[in-house]
Structure 1
Amino acid sequence: MLNASRQSMSAPIRVGIAGLGRSGWNIHAKAIAKMSGQFTITAVADPDASRCAEAQGRFGCRTYRDVHDLFVDPVVDLMVIASPNHLHMEHTLAALRAGKHVLCEKPMAIDVADADAMIDTADAMGRHLWVFHNRRFEPHFRKLQQIIASGDLGDIVHVRTAVHNFTRRWDWQTLRQYGGGMLSNIGSHLLDLMLELFPIEPVEIFTHLDRVLTLGDAEDHCVVMLKPNRGPLLHLEISNAGAFEQDLWLIMGSQGTLRGNPNQMDWKIADFSQLPNRELQPQTTAQRVYPHDDVHWQLHHWTCPEGQNNSPYTHQQFYLDIFNTLKQGAQPNVSVQSVRRLVNVLAQCRAEESQNKPTGIEVLS
């Protein structure tokens, strides 16, 4: 919780934002601005002077060109690390050592050693550390957790999540030197959700990363498969070379199947009570056809509540969780240990892929 001697428990949490790019400005600053009774932006840092001036004009906050000057500013309680991926560990450690609570953008770190350094430093400083996996707050994911827990789909054997687009990209997130690539940018979100649904320890990992339309040197086509000793096969597919939209989820079980997206999901459950008992018959069938069941289905449908099927909703839910932790002593919904598990799996994916690096496809100009 916040130190009451530093700030009244009824006062808004004072936030500093390191990096005013797409994430820092469009996600974090906008979310905080809508929660004025709980948070206030008191300082920001960005090497771009025009962005600092924009923030000062919008929020009346202090501005810095050097993030390290921001980290030691005493008017900041919570530090948001929205700098490029490769700087997350460095900036998080500096902010924690300056006595700040830290919300770090995903991906948390490149490997488990870096993640452990961040976690250990937070513990040593008595500070809270969050990683911004806001998609755990999506209503469809909460519903998905309920459906899986109910056992209605039976034993889950295969889980596929897919995001297909057809587009080129040419920003810093297409460059490996900045920690870019689809596996880190989008894959970290989706693998996180799958590992929350099924916290497996994969014994086999297949990773295929390729460059198709990107102008950078990091992948824009990504396939990952995680196979555990026990539990479902987890299948991730992200591509900027897929012109046909896919369902985000396809989940297959011994009693039914679910498919859907954040706005709506459908699932079918087989009613085995309406089926006759069957026995194995290895001899030739009299009808010369494949035997099959005429399944009676229980059909289910879910639609996202109005006003909740959008990213700003999950952003504010994440900040509300932070507020409840700092002001009321609640346990965070997104634990750093669960994110550490994700970092470990992502590092294993990269290691497996490095044994067979893609040559890439000629990029269209």
Structure 2
Amino acid sequence: MVRHRRPSMKTTRIAIIGFGRWGRYCHAALIRNTPNLELIGIASSNPEKRTQIESELGVKAYDSLEEVLADATVDAIVLATPNDTHFDYTMRALEAGKHVVTDKPMCLTLSECDAMIERANQSGKLLTTFQNRRLDGDYLTLKSLLAEGELGELRWLEMAWGGFGPWGGWRGTLQHGGGKFLDLGAHLVDQMLTLIPSPVTGIYLRLHHDYPQSEVESEAFLVMEFQNGATAVCDTSSMAAIDKPRFYARGTKATFQKFGLDPQENALMKGDITTAKEDPVTFGHLKGPQVDRTVPTLAGNWAGFYENFAQAAAGETTLLAPPEQTRRVMAVFEAAKQSATQRQVIQTSI
């Protein structure tokens, strides 16, 4: 799909901080294909990567965050950096008058989150987290089934993300905020909170550390109780050689089950997100007393995240993922950490 620039709308100039896999293949590609956004540079402390940035993308290569913040032509920054850097970099960027998109998780603690939101409000600049999984096809499909009443009221929701083997790199270290639960669970918890419209009243988290060589958990099993009586279960694993359903949703009218991951990430890594197409083999299934059918997956739209950001930066709409909603995710993580330490259910009002 060709997306055209709107001459009447302000163009927002963006610099990405970090040129790893996600900064290079995801954020850069999406921004460059979004009308009214201009990628003007990427920052990396690695000289070889700076050469790549200039030769492959034809944009400015900054050597530090400080250089980016000093550039008056930069309107916004995107943080594609380790999780433990998000708080400091965001606070400095907002102080410098830049809009900020953080990768998920937004930060490491609820107190950091609150300080970031306060600084954003004081600066009058946008702060959001890259919750691209709100635009996954499978999530949009379940959301549509709920909106159309085919599932009835959602009473039990299980979501899982697995893999086999301990994580390496910075995501395998506690210092940098690694671990699958915090990193990928940030997406799953966010999806759960948007699918069940009720406050969270109880949280229990069970962690395993089954890889002696790894600092981070091998298993995380989160249970959330909601005020309306619904239950959500988030299961992230590094010992899952056989996948569980990505979504398993039980409602008062029917049950929906869906395996497989959204194809947009693989398409991005191959250089063209528009080629993303799901194999019908992984379409979901809806079953109940009055229904028994395969549910074709709706098309995902990760491009919509930055289209929304462009419009919000121009003052024409609100953010897809406002920081106040991300605060709920961070509050869940805070209570979950307490639960795992105390080995008990934590009563909450989130």
Residue in 2 that maps onto 1:171 = 169
Q: Secondary structure at the match of 1:151?
A: coil
Using structure 1 for the length normalisation, give the TM-score. 0.81
- Residue 170 (structure 1) shift: 1.7
- Residue 176 (structure 1) shift: 0.6
- Residue 90 (structure 1) shift: 0.6
Q: Deviations over 1:185-229 (max 9, x none)?
A: 111101110111014333322111222348430113111011123
Contact 1:85 / 1:106 at 8 angstroms: preserved in 2? yes
Residue in 2 that maps onto 1:327 = 314
Q: Secondary structure at the match of 1:178?
A: coil
- Residue 328 (structure 1) shift: 5.4
Q: Deviations over 1:11-61 (max 9, x none)?
A: 6421111111122112111222333x4322212211111111111222333
Q: Deviations over 1:242-271 (max 9, x none)?
A: 111221111112322111145522111324
Out of 307, 329, 333, the residue aligned to residue 342 of structure 1 is 329
Gaps of 5+ in 1: 1-7, 272-297, 358-365
Q: Secondary structure at the match of 2:53?
A: helix
C-alpha distance in structure 2 between counterparts of 1:10 and 1:356, whole Å = 52
Q: Which amino acid aligns with 1:266?
A: H
| Aligned CA distance change for structure 1 residues 199 and 10 (closer, same or farther; 3 Å) | closer
Q: Secondary structure at the match of 1:237?
A: strand
Contact 1:156 / 1:231 at 8 angstroms: preserved in 2? no
Residue in 2 that maps onto 1:97 = 95
Q: Which amino acid aligns with 1:268?
A: K
Contact 2:18 / 2:42 at 8 angstroms: preserved in 1? yes
C-alpha distance in structure 1 between counterparts of 2:304 and 2:342, whole Å = 40
Q: Secondary structure at the match of 2:152?
A: coil
Answer with 1 or 2: which has the greater Rg: 1
Answer with 322-331 or 119-128: which moved more.
322-331
Contact 1:169 / 1:215 at 8 angstroms: preserved in 2? no
C-alpha distance in structure 1 between counterparts of 2:296 and 2:150, whole Å = 18
Residue in 2 that maps onto 1:22 = 21
Q: Secondary structure at the match of 2:45?
A: coil
Residue in 1 that maps onto 2:55 = 57
C-alpha distance in structure 2 between counterparts of 1:210 and 1:128, whole Å = 37
Contact 2:166 / 2:172 at 8 angstroms: preserved in 1? no
| Aligned CA distance change for structure 1 residues 138 and 12 (closer, same or farther; 3 Å) | same
Q: How does 1:40-55 map to 2 (within 5 A)?
A: 40-55=38-53
| Aligned CA distance change for structure 1 residues 76 and 355 (closer, same or farther; 3 Å) | same
Contact 1:45 / 1:65 at 8 angstroms: preserved in 2? yes
| Aligned CA distance change for structure 1 residues 198 and 89 (closer, same or farther; 3 Å) | same
| Aligned CA distance change for structure 1 residues 63 and 119 (closer, same or farther; 3 Å) | same
Q: Tell me, yes or no, if structure 1 residue 267 matches structure 2 residue 286.
A: yes
Residue in 2 that maps onto 1:161 = 159
Q: Secondary structure at the match of 1:121?
A: helix
Q: Secondary structure at the match of 1:160?
A: strand
- Residue 123 (structure 1) shift: 1.3
Using structure 2 for the length normalisation, give the TM-score. 0.84
Answer with 148-157 or 200-209: which moved more.
148-157
C-alpha distance in structure 2 between counterparts of 1:43 and 1:115, whole Å = 27
C-alpha distance in structure 2 between counterparts of 1:9 and 1:112, whole Å = 39
Residue in 2 that maps onto 1:299 = 292
- Residue 152 (structure 1) shift: 3.0
Q: How does 1:270-281 map to 2 (within 5 A)?
A: 270-271=289-290
| Aligned CA distance change for structure 1 residues 113 and 9 (closer, same or farther; 3 Å) | farther
Gaps of 5+ in 2: 1-6, 263-277, 345-350
- Residue 356 (structure 1) shift: 4.7
Q: Which amino acid aligns with 2:117?
A: I
Q: Which amino acid aligns with 2:220?
A: C
- Residue 105 (structure 1) shift: 0.7
Q: Secondary structure at the match of 1:188?
A: helix
| Aligned CA distance change for structure 1 residues 254 and 324 (closer, same or farther; 3 Å) | same
Contact 2:154 / 2:251 at 8 angstroms: preserved in 1? yes
C-alpha distance in structure 1 between counterparts of 2:59 and 2:253, whole Å = 56
Q: Secondary structure at the match of 1:130?
A: strand
Q: How many residues align?
A: 317
Residue in 2 that maps onto 1:116 = 114
Q: Secondary structure at the match of 1:176?
A: coil
Contact 2:13 / 2:39 at 8 angstroms: preserved in 1? yes
Q: How does 1:308-323 map to 2 (within 5 A)?
A: 308=299, 313-314=301-302, 316-323=303-310
